[in-house]
Structure 1
Amino acid sequence: MSANKWLFRLLFSCIPLLMLGPVKAAPPNIIFVLSDDVAQGDLGCYGQKLIATPNLDRMAEQGTRYLSAYCGTTVCAPSRSSLITGLHSGHCPIRGNFEVPPEGQLPLPAEATTIAEVLKSAGYQTACVGKWGMGFFDTTGDPLKQGFDHFFGYNCQREAHSYFPRYLYNDHEKILLAGNDGKSIGKTYSQELIQEDAINWIRKHRSQPFFLFYALTLPHGRHEINDLGQYVNKPWSNSQKAYAAQVTRMDSDMGELMSTLKELGIAENTLVLFSGDNGSSFSTKSKMGSLFNQASNGLRGFKRGLYEGALRQAAIAWWPGTVPAGRVSDQPWAFWDILPTAAELAGFELKENERTDGKSLVAFLKGGEAPQRDYFYWELHEQKPIQACRFGKWKAVKNGPNAKVELYDLKSDPGESTDLSAKHPEKVQQAVQIMKQAHTPDKNWPLTEIPDFRKRSSKAAWKATRDRLKKASD
């Protein structure tokens, strides 16, 4: 065949494609890896010297590392709920840890819109692997009722304190790990099964858009590990050795996950976001914090507070060819931005009743600027209810219903060492208005005191809570 005839046939064969217009790219897979309690200072890429995290360090080199990524709030259930619903903790239905019998936390309500429901509507396969903590299976908070096609791991946060558990769940099925009775201490290290399920699920759904919420329990206490590895002979306490080994185990599992994506040929079409669910778990004065020296990475505060050391967490984005490699950004974003980000990536337009408090980070992830907003807001209902907000360079903290509003200049004082409230009363008043505006009243989460039904003083109180929730759902 002559060169002219070959060229003519090639051009002729392309006419139908040209008439159809450009081919729409497939939406990316999305994996959000949520580590339970890892802090910025635990990772080498944030300055840690004693704990080895080569895979996460490489992830940061090949992607973007964030210095001002904010969690939903600073304990497990409300932080996860903010991530899942796209609502900050002034609007989110879960604003504190609140256990209900027989196991689990206060459930997400049926009317909640979740990131899994949004992506499922956009044609994604969805899974949650690891720890759920947002409602037991016979409640509205069941993960399989909140948009997930598959669940594997711990439903209950308290059960997740053990890394050698009595049982895990595969969807609704309880998998006994400690013999037939399921009561004695297990011999199986849970992360082995959780990692295996996550990798197998990715392999199974490699050819279709998928969303995996990989909610690791590592390195949350208890600090248990099946192999101390390189730390076995360190001159540290057993808890310190175990904690370091937990972080390194998490790192090796992240390495396997990214290697799997490359092996399957889908890395370039998969956004992986890695994050902690709150800032540091340890005071820098504690044995753990003082040894590793980077517990809060120079920031004030830790878990269950609302200072920056509690709110900022380790966060890395990795998407080869799309997320800029080697970028380090101090521009702020928060958990409630993830749902609208996922919706934009999936090409899904959120309806009026699916509005969130967040803003899409797609342009930011790709190398642009972070979205502008009026403020960030947090509240937490553990002991006394506390509030905080960030607006521009200013950060305000109110440590209780009757506490004064503290004010800090994060640009010059990221460690929140100098309270400027007396010098800037107009900024204090602005913060008070933000706190008032951002809080939607909720009978479960009043800003005045802890309601009686949330006081976990007796089995009778638990039963009353359970009955109240059942009646409300009937």
Structure 2
Amino acid sequence: MKLPFLLCLALPLFLGQLCPAKAKPNLIYVVCDDLGYGDLGCYGQKVVKTPRFDRMAKEGLRFTDHYAGHTVCRPSRLVYLVGKHTAHTAIAGNNMHVLPKGSVTVTSLLKKAGYHTGGVGKWALGHLGSTGHPNRQGFDFFYGYLDQGEAHDYYPEHLYRNETKERLPGNVNSGKRNVSSEKVTYAHDRLTEEAIAFIRRNHKKPFYLNLTWNIPHTNNEAKGNGQEVPDHGIYEKEDWPEPEKGFAAMVTLMDRDMGRILDLLEKLGIEKNTLVIFTSDNGPHNEGGHKVGFFDSSGPLRGYKRSLHDGGIRVPMIAWWPGAIKPGVSDHPSAFWDWLPTACELAGTEAPEDIDGVSFVPTLLGKGKQAKHDYLFWRWSRFRAVRMGKWKGVQTDKKLALYDLSEDIGEEKDLAAENPSVAKRIKAIIDELE
């Protein structure tokens, strides 16, 4: 009787070797800065070249109705970290906010679920020594800018490696905030190299990388031309204003580096166990010499950064996961606050109950029923916005305009007077969330 008993003990181990448990997918969440809905070829851009993003969209899932957390940087980033829209976060503007100790973020949840967590790029929620420092908010590793304002400068004197200030060779500040007189080391290149190094170091275990590139944001303090790049590349001979050459070069540079990351995943043999999401923190800017209409950065949408019309908040999102995601296009309405529950579901861990986000895993994988939002909500200064199905309400100083996005993606015709019951429902949502 001993032999069968020993076989019974050994059988589960043997079967486990034949059919190992499915590994947790690696998660890479890339958020760039001020990229418009119309700035990529796969979203209709005709001039600026983005071949790798276009290929990524062709091989993955392109979302047409995805929204940022806000129309400016800091609150938008807070939204995806905590899974709540701006009625339920501590800030709804670019005012300083430090994440308090014990904050429940997507990063801290993934860390507890066994992920090695890395943040590379622009961080805006806590300085050195504060409770909001990335290393105190779930990130095992951080490299980049801690100060949102400093991230305007593409040639800073230093970046931060965890809690250590690290010099960038050759860069010298001019004596003016965020303006360098000696420009040698381009910060975007450093950020990309650090992201690549993080993937190489951690590719044999589940990892989460939150890569927050600060291009194509302008350097607001560099008067006249804030689109700082080492060179204009393929756009050098174009008969365009210098800031437009710089903007186009930034987008194409970012396109190249997205391709480098996807190529690395394939080289390491982990592309079929890695979800990569690319998106933007808000709509396109009209600053630093760059004109939002020059390349039609908002596409068919009304408005741009600092507006709650869709041009300020509807953003590109591409999800890439070979073998798991069926290539296509999705019009599922989703938003930044959905990332936390989506990441948690993929990691096999529970999301908090008090969030606003809805996992879009069923849409990604084409399996199961996709839960829908009752509405999406934003607040900014004296403005409020609600998306409810095909309807979009934008309130300014208590006056509500109503648009049917299925017929009027450019939000040109106010239908509030013709649809008083819909306007009343949206107004009630806004009032309830005040």
TM-score by length of 1: 0.83
Retained in 1: the 8 A contact 2:37–2:311?
no
Partner amino acid for 2:356?
D
**Number of residue pairs aligned between Structure 1 and Structure 2:** 411
Partner amino acid for 1:242?
G
Q: Measured at CA, do residues 227 and 37 of structure 1 come closer, stay the same or move farther in structure 2, by a change above 3 Å? A: same
Q: Does 1:255 align with 2:255?
A: no
After superposition, where does 1:9-158 map in structure 2 within 5 Å? 16-18=13-15, 23-98=20-95, 105-158=96-149
- Report deviation, 1:209: 0.3
Q: Does 1:288 align with 2:285?
A: no
Sequence identity (%) = 43
Partner amino acid for 2:280?
G
Q: Structure 1, residues 365-409: CA drift from partner, whole Å, max 9, x if none? A: 11256421211111123xxx311111121111112xx33111111
* Aligned mate of 1:322, from 317, 324, 327: 324
Retained in 2: the 8 A contact 1:37–1:276?
yes
| SS in structure 1 of the partner of residue 260 of structure 2 | helix
Retained in 2: the 8 A contact 1:28–1:269?
yes
Unaligned stretches of 5+ in structure 2? Answer: 1-9, 220-226
- Report deviation, 1:15: 6.9
After superposition, where does 1:449-464 map in structure 2 within 5 Å? none
Q: Does 1:391 align with 2:394?
A: no
Distance 1:21 1:434 in 2: 53
| SS in structure 1 of the partner of residue 38 of structure 2 | helix
Q: Structure 1, residues 124-163: CA drift from partner, whole Å, max 9, x if none? A: 0001101001111222211111111111011111111111
Distance 2:258 2:13 in 1: 44
Retained in 2: the 8 A contact 1:410–1:416?
yes
Distance 1:167 1:423 in 2: 56
Distance 1:164 1:16 in 2: 55
Unaligned stretches of 5+ in structure 1? Answer: 1-12, 99-104, 440-474
| SS in structure 1 of the partner of residue 418 of structure 2 | coil
Retained in 1: the 8 A contact 2:402–2:423?
yes
Q: Does 1:408 align with 2:408?
A: no
Q: Measured at CA, do residues 422 and 166 of structure 1 come closer, stay the same or move farther in structure 2, by a change above 3 Å? A: same
Once superposed, what is the RMSD of the aligned Cα atoms?
2.1
Retained in 1: the 8 A contact 2:171–2:185?
no
| SS in structure 2 of the partner of residue 316 of structure 1 | strand
Q: Measured at CA, do residues 389 and 257 of structure 1 come closer, stay the same or move farther in structure 2, by a change above 3 Å? A: same
Task: Out of 428-437 and 230-239, give the one that drifted further.
Answer: 428-437
- Report deviation, 1:289: 2.8
Q: Does 1:299 align with 2:301?
A: yes
Q: Structure 1, residues 412-432: CA drift from partner, whole Å, max 9, x if none? A: 111111111112222222112
Partner amino acid for 1:361?
F
Q: Structure 1, residues 261-294: CA drift from partner, whole Å, max 9, x if none? A: 00111000000000011122249xx96333213x
What residue number does 1:363 align with?
362
Distance 2:352 2:155 in 1: 43
Task: Out of 340-349 and 174-183, give the one that drifted further.
Answer: 174-183
- Report deviation, 1:27: 0.6
Retained in 1: the 8 A contact 2:105–2:137?
yes
- Report deviation, 1:179: 5.9
After superposition, where does 1:187-226 map in structure 2 within 5 Å? 187-222=184-219, 223-226=227-230
What residue number does 2:424 align with?
429
